[in-house]
Structure 1
Amino acid sequence: MNGQHKSKALAGVVAVLTLAGCGGGGGEQRPTSSATPSATPSPTAASPAPTKTAAPEFTAKISAVPRERVKHSWRPSCPVPLSRLRLITMTYWGFDNRPHTGEMVVNASAAEDIVSVFKKLYGFRYPIRRMELVDEYKASDHASIDADNTSAFNCRRATGSSNWSQHAYGLAVDLNPMENPYVSADGSYAHENAKRYVKRPKQPGVIHPGDRVVKAFASIGWGWGGSWPGTKDYQHFSSTGR
C-alpha cells in the first residue's frame, strides 16, 4: 500500500473508532447537551404557621320539658308544675378544652337569664365537667354531685331542712360540685372526691369570691352559696341566694 492509500485507510479507522465511542449500548448515539449546569435552586419560603382554630359559637335552645325526661325528678306534688319548667340544650366548655353540648332544666321565668350566664361562662372558657339532667342519676343529688355534674332542677328538699330547695322550683344551679363542694361550718364535707377542693385552691373550675363566675350570676340577681356565713355551698347559685 502506497503512502497516500495508507493515510486514507488510517483516517477511515480513526473515523470508525470516533463514531463507536459516541454510541451507547445497542448502537444508538447518546444525545449531548450544550446547556450549562443550572444554578442551585433557592430555598422555598417557610410555610406559614397554622392558625388556631376558633371555637364554635355558643348556642342554646329553650324548649318544653317532655315528661319522660323528668320521670324521676318531677311529680305532681312538686311546688312547680311541669308546664312552668324549660329544657335548655346549650354549649359548654369542657375540662378537655373543647366545646360540648349539655342539658339543664330550669324554671321558665329564669331560662333566658340562665342562658345569658352560661354564654358568658363559655366566653370565659370556664371549664365544666358535665351537664346532664339529674334524671340521668335517678334524681339522686348525691350521685349527681359524685359525678361532678352541673345541674339545676330537682324536686327535693333543701339540705338539712324540710323546706323545698330552690332546686325544686328550677331556680338554682349547682356548678361543678366536686371543685365547689358543700362544706359545713365545722369543715366537714360529704363527698370524698372533693377533699382537695375544700381549701379552695387556684385551679380550673374552682369558684372564688368576686370572680367572673360569681359576677356572671350576680348580673341576673342570683346569689352564691360560697358567701354564706358558716356553712358554705360553693357550687350553689340561686335566685334568692339561698
Structure 2
Amino acid sequence: MSIEENYLDILKQIPKDVTLLAVSKTRSVEEILEAYNAGAREFGENKVQELSEKFDELPKDIKWHLIGHLQRNKVKYLVDKVHLIHSLDSIKLLEEIEKQFSAKNKIANVLIQINIGKEATKTGVYIENLRDLINACEQCTSVKVRGLMATIPIGTEESCRQYFNEMKKVYEKLSTETFKNIAMEVLSIGMTGDYKIAIEEGSTLIRLGEGIFGKRNYNK
C-alpha cells in the first residue's frame, strides 16, 4: 500500500481521541508530503538537526514532535520549532529547556520519558526518581509537562500489555493529583508493532513509522 493508504487505513482503525503521530525520521521530504497530503499534521523526529532541516522545508502548519533522546547542547535549536518534546528524562535537561525557552519568552511543552523496563540501553527516568523530576518541573516558568512517554522492552504480547498497564497506572495516579505546570493530557505509548495493545491499555498517542511509511532503507 502507499503511504497515503497506510495512513488512512490506520486512522480508520484507531479511536478518534487517539493521536496518530507519523514518525518521519530518515524519511524524505517527498515521503512526508505524501503523508501530509493524506491529512497528517503531526510528525515525530529523533534528531534535532533533522527536525530543524525539515521544519524549514515543509509546510508551517505541521506540528513537530521530538521523540528521540535530547542532548542539552541541542535544546536551543528547538525553540520556535517543536510542538512537543517527548523525552524529558533528567533535571539537568529540564534546567536547560527552561533556560533556553525562557530566554526567548516561549513555553516548552514536554512529556516526561519513563524507562519503564529499566533498560540500560534506553534513556528515561526510573519510576522511583519520578517525583524528584516532577518537583523540579513545578519550579519552572517556561516548561509545561503535558503527560508521559515510554518505549517499552521488546517482548511478548503479555509483557507489552504489562508495561503499558504500568504506564497507565502511573499516568492515572498523577491525573488525580494537582501540580503546578503539570497536567496529564498525553500518554505516548505504542509503536508500529504494538499500537493496538497500547490503545487497549490507554494510550492517547501512538508513534508509527514503518506502519505508515513502510520499511526503512538504511542504505540510501
- Determine which structure has the larger strand proportion and give its number: 2
- Determine which structure has the larger helix proportion and give its number: 2
The structure with more radius of gyration: 1
TM-score relative to the length of structure 1 = 0.23
TM-score relative to the length of structure 2 = 0.24
